[in-house]
Every structure is written in C-alpha cells, then in structure tokens.
Amino acid sequence: MKHKIVFITLGFFIALFLWQCQQETITSNRTVESLRAKPDHLFSSSVQNDGGGSIEFDGGSSCVTKDGDCRQDTIVVEVIPDMGDPTIPVGDCKIIARFKRVICDRGENQFPQFVYSYSNYEMVLSSTPECQDLINYIKNLPNQDRDAFYAHLRGVVRDQAIAQDMLWQIQHNNITCNNGTAVEGRVYEPKCYYKCWTVGAPGPGDPPGTIHWIYRYVDCGHSCCVRSSLWCLDQNGDPIESEPHRYSLGNCEGSTPVPQWCYPDPFDPLHPIIVCNNRGACE
C-alpha cells in the first residue's frame, strides 16, 4: 500500500511537470496557508447561471477563450478582507466580489481536465454601518495614497473570493493530489484599463440611504494579464496551489472610449481625469 501511494503521488507530479512544460515554467507546489477554510462568517456566496448558448464577454474578459465543453455563470462572493494590517479598521465590513466564471471540461484525457476562468471582476463597497469605519479611513487618506490603497484592497478581496470558490470546488469534487488530479484556475485582468467607479441601486432589505460603490478595471487596449495555477487537496485535506504562472495576451493596441457609466474616485474631491493605465509586465 505504501508503494502504491508513492506511485500515485509520483504520477501526479509527473503530470504536473508535463503541464508546466506546456505552459512555460511553473515552480514547485506550495501549501496556501491563507486559503484554508475560514470561519463561516467571513464568507458567503451565490451563483447565477447565465444560461447556455454562446459565451460573450466585455471589458476585462475579452481575452477569455473556450477550452473544451464550457458553461458560464456569475459568481458573487462576500468577504471580510484580511488586509494584514491591524491599523486598517476593517472590523466586520463585508465587501462583495462579483465575477464572470467560465467552467470548461477539456475531456478525460486532458490534464487538467477542468479549467475555471474568472473575469469581469467588480468590487462592491457598501455604506453599511459595519463598513463606516473603513469608509471614513478611506476618506481621510491623502489623495496620493488612496489609489494605492484601492489597488491593495481590490487585490485582497479578489484573491480571497477566488480562493474560497476554488477551495469549495476541490473539496466538493474531491480533487486530491494523491489521486493525480487537479483543476486549473485562471484569473483574467485587463492589461490596459480605466479605473471606473459607479453607484449601484439599493437592494431589497438595504437600510434607507445605503450606497453601493462599484469599482472595476475596464479594458481600454484589447489585452489581458492572466494568472494561471493548479489546485488540489493534500493528504490532510488542505489546499495546494502551484506557483502561479503569469502571462499576457494582446499588446494594448487600439483604444476603447471611456464608458458613460465610468466615474472617477468618489472620495477624491479633486475628481481626477480618467486615463488609460498600462500595467507593463503582468506581475
């Protein structure tokens, strides 16, 4: 039995090595401590099926491609961001992450068989009592520091939300490393983008006067940055993610007008001009 387990595990890593060679170099697997199941009150999620038929994309997801037999839905995940800084007054503030998610079955003879692609990411910060301290913190930031804070907050919320969904998927489908199985997760972000804010309508049950600030990077150059990694469960049931592989699609050629609904930072009294930002390297 011991030799059998070693053989199966070796088979998985041979398959992982071959997949890495196809996708360029990815470093060895690592345990993702921060992605282990967190208390229930930190996460909630819902999924809306967008129906069958052709898959159409806009904004930052223009690079997403069908890879096998695919279906698309919208996933909404609510998280309390772990900012890693106790001086940031997050408290019990729950922030929504919304994505387009495409799940593709590449066939039983392909490794990995299933690919989960996340795009069209929106972060929603609401003026709930639980978020008021965080909103006041944002308002009091110097204008030159606020943009960097948004980027950090946006990234934390995105990564927690995707990790939670991937963790549920590999647990629910028993994707274990010892069985030689894994799923691929791909995160698509626009390489050249407008930083867009808009306000969402109050939802059912919202207290009077609730504001939903929606923050999104919108493509302005027909290109994407892609973050790809493999996921599975180790023998202890903990998630393992391969070292992410990052690459770009497109060269930010051409231009896209600023959407009519796209507004500048609502907390900046100077209301800066919206410009097309270029990430440069996809890191």
User: What are the pLDDT digits (tens) for 40-65?
Assistant: 333 334 444 444 333 333 444 568 87
Q: What is the mean pLDDT of residues 17-37?
A: 35
Burial string for 63-97 (b: 16+ CB within 10 Å, else e) reads: bbeebeebbbeebbbbbbbebeeeebebeebbbbb
For residue 221, give the H/E element and its range. none
Question: Out of 13-17, 172-176, 243-247, which region has the weakest mean confidence (pLDDT)?
Answer: 13-17
Find out whether 128 and 148 touch, Cβ atoms under 8 Å: no
Q: What percent of the chain has pLDDT over 70?
A: 78
User: What are the pLDDT digits (tens) for 75-116?
Assistant: 999 999 999 999 999 999 999 999 999 999 998 888 888 999
Q: What is the mean pLDDT of residues 253-268?
A: 86
Query: How high is the pLDDT of residue 225?
Result: 93
Residue 165 backbone class (left: φ over 0; alpha: ψ -120 to 50; beta: rest): alpha
Give the predicted TM-score (pTM) of the model: 0.80
What average pLDDT is seen over the chain? 79
d(CA 227, CA 211): 32
Q: What percent of the chain has pLDDT over 90?
A: 51
Query: How high is the pLDDT of residue 62?
Result: 61
Q: What is the mean pLDDT of residues 7-35?
A: 38
**What secondary structure letter does DSSP report for 176?**
B
Give me the helices (H) in the chain, please. Answer: 2-22, 132-140, 143-172
**What secondary structure letter does DSSP report for 273?**
P
Greatest mean pLDDT among 21-35, 97-111, 201-215: 97-111
Query: How high is the pLDDT of residue 28?
Result: 31
Give the start-to-end residue ranges of the domains of the chain: 2-278
Structure confidence at residue 6 as a pLDDT band (50, 70, 90)? very low
